[in-house]
């Protein structure tokens, strides 16, 4: 079920019709040919419509009684929400590049507005009432709420993932801004599951073979169980090959290596905005049209020592930054991990961002290591805490996962900047403290970061 008009989605079926499947595409209510009052993005009524459609299809004489769902992005999010309602006949789901948190994944990554342009889709709804109501809801009711609330949670599969009982195939890409949702979806469902992460962004995910195997087994009973044995398939950058893992890495049992990149406080220039400042020219940064991966510059960088041996970093890195920005009532803090090659070229591996005033943590919902450090912190986003007026403020950033092989001579680079977010149109100087550290999930090699 799609808000992008079914006429434009006809080739999104992974050649399912050619493989003997009935493949259906439906407009969500209020879009295209689907009538009924529009209730807002991923509304409860829309998800109920999806569940009812699944049950209707399962009852049709052409159907075996088993229905599977596929789809990416929005159609990855709504199928997870529908699956949690347990519609009769649903046998499996296959969400691709799907967000699970309408606040943290979609609109306010790290408390910073990242995807406000999505409302432009209401212009092509094809129905005047949806055009008017959709814009009003999105830009007057929803986005003005800069803190997480019930409206965001209602539209977030994050809170119902454990209710999903059917097998789930999660597919995503290292360059996809919704990779966080793909990983969290896999980690939180309790049903049979599989995870595939490839060298893809938000578009062009080439997971047809995996999807075919998935549907053939759960809908036709053909082939081998794709959740037996290794459940995780990852494309490893650096060596440009695929690896199989029994499961996603264990935060508690992983080997963590601390990298402190600063010997003394370092000054960081904090502009009031990013006007005219481009990303570094010698770097290949991630680019995702959904929400702006890689669009910010690096106004400060710190490089590690060259790796001495082949080294694999596999999992989710952690970043604890200590920032002194006394003149700023609030500031955005984006950070990036990259690999710096011996020839001077630089390739981004991971990225995160956080608004300093949204740094409050819920450790129980965070993924922590054996020492209790929040590697994947869960920021509550339910209150405002201004940065420390004097001294350093600690920020725990949620960085995107990686799977990379470093070659001898490669260096790890930490790149950061600060952006004033206190409505003061003057630049400021801030300091990054030497307590700042990166925790790296290391699987092989010793290296010299």
State the average pLDDT over residues 108-115: 91
Say whether both 192 and 307 belong to one domain: no
Say whether both 51 and 134 belong to one domain: yes
Between 251 and 8, where is the model more confident?
A: 251
Count of the separate structural domains present in the chain = 2
Asked if pLDDT for residue 449 goes beyond 60, the answer is no
Q: Which of 174-178, 202-206, 293-297 has the highest mean pLDDT?
A: 174-178
Query: Residue 264's closest CA among 324, 306, 319?
Result: 324
> Which structural domain, as residue segments, surrounds residue 156?
6-245
Is residue 250 domain-resident?
no
Say whether both 298 and 436 belong to one domain: yes
Say whether both 195 and 285 belong to one domain: no
Q: Per-residue confidence at 277, pLDDT binned at 50, 70, 90?
A: low
Share of the chain above pLDDT 70, in %: 93
Between 121 and 61, where is the model more confident?
A: 61
Residue 336 structure tokens: 């990036």
350: CATH: 2.60.120.260
Q: Per-residue confidence at 292, pLDDT binned at 50, 70, 90?
A: low
pLDDT for residue 448 = 43
Measured between alpha carbons, how far is 49 from 68 in angstroms, rounded to an integer?
Answer: 16
Say whether both 291 and 373 belong to one domain: yes
Q: Looking at the DSSP assignment, which residues form a beta bridge with residue 394? A: 322
pLDDT for residue 278 = 61
Asked if pLDDT for residue 273 goes beyond 70, the answer is no
Say whether both 84 and 171 belong to one domain: yes
Q: Which residue, of 245, 276, 301, is where some domain finishes? A: 245
State the average pLDDT over residues 21-44: 93
Q: pLDDT averaged over the chain?
A: 91
77: CATH: 3.40.50.1820
Q: In what helix (H) or strand (E) does residue 154 lie, and over which residues does it extend?
A: helix 150-154
Asked if pLDDT for residue 315 goes beyond 50, the answer is yes
- What pLDDT, in 10s, does the model give residues 321-363? 999 987 889 999 999 999 999 999 999 999 999 999 999 999 9
Asked if pLDDT for residue 445 goes beyond 70, the answer is no
State the average pLDDT over residues 66-94: 97
Asked if pLDDT for residue 235 goes beyond 70, the answer is yes
State the average pLDDT over residues 286-297: 70
Asked if pLDDT for residue 444 goes beyond 60, the answer is no
State the average pLDDT over residues 190-213: 93
pLDDT for residue 428 = 82
Q: In what helix (H) or strand (E) does residue 385 lie, and over which residues does it extend?
A: none
Question: pTM of the entire structure?
Answer: 0.94
Asked if pLDDT for residue 39 goes beyond 80, the answer is yes
Q: Who's near 57: CB < 8 A, 6+ residues apart?
A: 22, 24, 63, 67, 89
- What pLDDT, in 10s, does the model give residues 388-412? 888 899 999 999 999 999 999 999 9
Q: Which residue, of 205, 225, 245, is where some domain finishes? A: 245
Q: Looking at the DSSP assignment, which residues form a beta bridge with residue 269? A: 429
Provide the Cα torsion 105, 106, 110, 112; round to 10°.
Answer: 170
Say whether both 260 and 352 belong to one domain: yes
Sign of the C-alpha dihedral computed for residues 169, 73, 2 and 108 taken in this order: positive
In SS3 terms, 47-112 reads as HHHHHHHHHHHHHCCCCCCCEEEEEECHHHHHHHHHHCCCCCCEEEEEEECCCCCHHHHHHEECCE
Q: Which residue, of 201, 225, 245, is where some domain finishes? A: 245
Measured between alpha carbons, how far is 206 from 196 in angstroms, rounded to an integer?
Answer: 10
State the average pLDDT over residues 18-47: 93
Q: Looking at the DSSP assignment, which residues form a beta bridge with residue 28? A: none
Helices of type H across 312-408: none
pLDDT for residue 352 = 95
State the average pLDDT over residues 278-299: 71
Say whether both 186 and 217 belong to one domain: yes
pLDDT for residue 295 = 72
Neighbours of 409 (CB within 10 A): 13
């Amino acid at each position: 079920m799609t808000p992008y008009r079914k006429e434009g989605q006809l080739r999104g079926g992974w050649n399912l019709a050619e493989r003997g499947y009935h493949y259906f595409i439906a407009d969500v209510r209020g879009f295209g040919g689907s009538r009924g009052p529009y209730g807002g993005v991923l509304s409860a009524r829309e998800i109920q419509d999806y569940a009812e459609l699944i049950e209707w299809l399962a009852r049709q004489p052409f159907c075996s009684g088993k229905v599977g769902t596929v789809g990416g992005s929005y159609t990855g999010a709504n199928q997870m929400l529908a699956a949690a309602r347990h519609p009769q006949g649903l046998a499996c789901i296959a969400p691709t590049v799907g967000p699970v948190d309408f606040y943290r994944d979609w609109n306010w990554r790290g408390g910073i507005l990242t995807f406000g342009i999505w409302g432009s889709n209401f212009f092509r709804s094809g129905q005047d009432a949806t055009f008017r109501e959709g814009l009003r809801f999105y830009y007057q009711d929803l986005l003005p709420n800069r803190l997480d609330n019930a409206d965001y949670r209602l539209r977030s599969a994050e809170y119902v993932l454990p209710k999903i009982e059917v097998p789930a195939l999660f597919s995503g890409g290292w360059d996809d801004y919704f990779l966080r949702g793909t990983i969290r979806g896999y980690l939180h469902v309790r049903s049979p599951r599989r995870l595939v992460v490839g060298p893809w962004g938000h578009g062009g995910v080439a997971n047809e073979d995996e999807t075919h195997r998935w549907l053939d087994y759960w809908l036709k009973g053909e082939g081998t169980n794709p959740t037996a044995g290794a459940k995780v398939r990852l494309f490893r950058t650096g060596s440009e090959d695929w690896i199989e893992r029994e499961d996603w890495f264990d935060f508690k049992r992983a080997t963590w290596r601390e990298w402190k990149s600063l010997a003394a406080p370092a000054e960081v220039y904090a502009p009031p905005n990013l006007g005219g400042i481009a990303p570094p020219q010698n770097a290949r940064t991630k680019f995702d049209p959904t929400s702006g991966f890689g669009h910010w510059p690096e106004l400060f960088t710190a490089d590690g020592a060259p790796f001495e041996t082949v080294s694999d970093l596999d999992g989710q890195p952690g970043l604890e930054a200590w920032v002194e920005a006394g003149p700023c009532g609030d500031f955005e803090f984006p950070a990036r991990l990259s690999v710096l090659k011996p020839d001077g070229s630089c390739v981004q591996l991971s990225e995160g961002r956080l608004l300093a005033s949204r740094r409050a943590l819920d450790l129980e919902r965070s993924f922590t290591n054996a020492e209790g450090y929040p590697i994947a912190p869960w920021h509550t986003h339910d209150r405002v805490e201004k940065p420390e007026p004097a001294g350093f403020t600690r920020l725990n950033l949620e960085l995107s996962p990686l799977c990379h092989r470093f070659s001898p001579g490669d260096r790890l680079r930490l790149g950061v900047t600060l952006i004033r977010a206190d409505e003061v149109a003057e630049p400021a100087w801030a300091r990054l403290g030497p307590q700042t550290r990166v925790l790296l999930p290391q699987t092989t090699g010793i290296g010299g970061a």
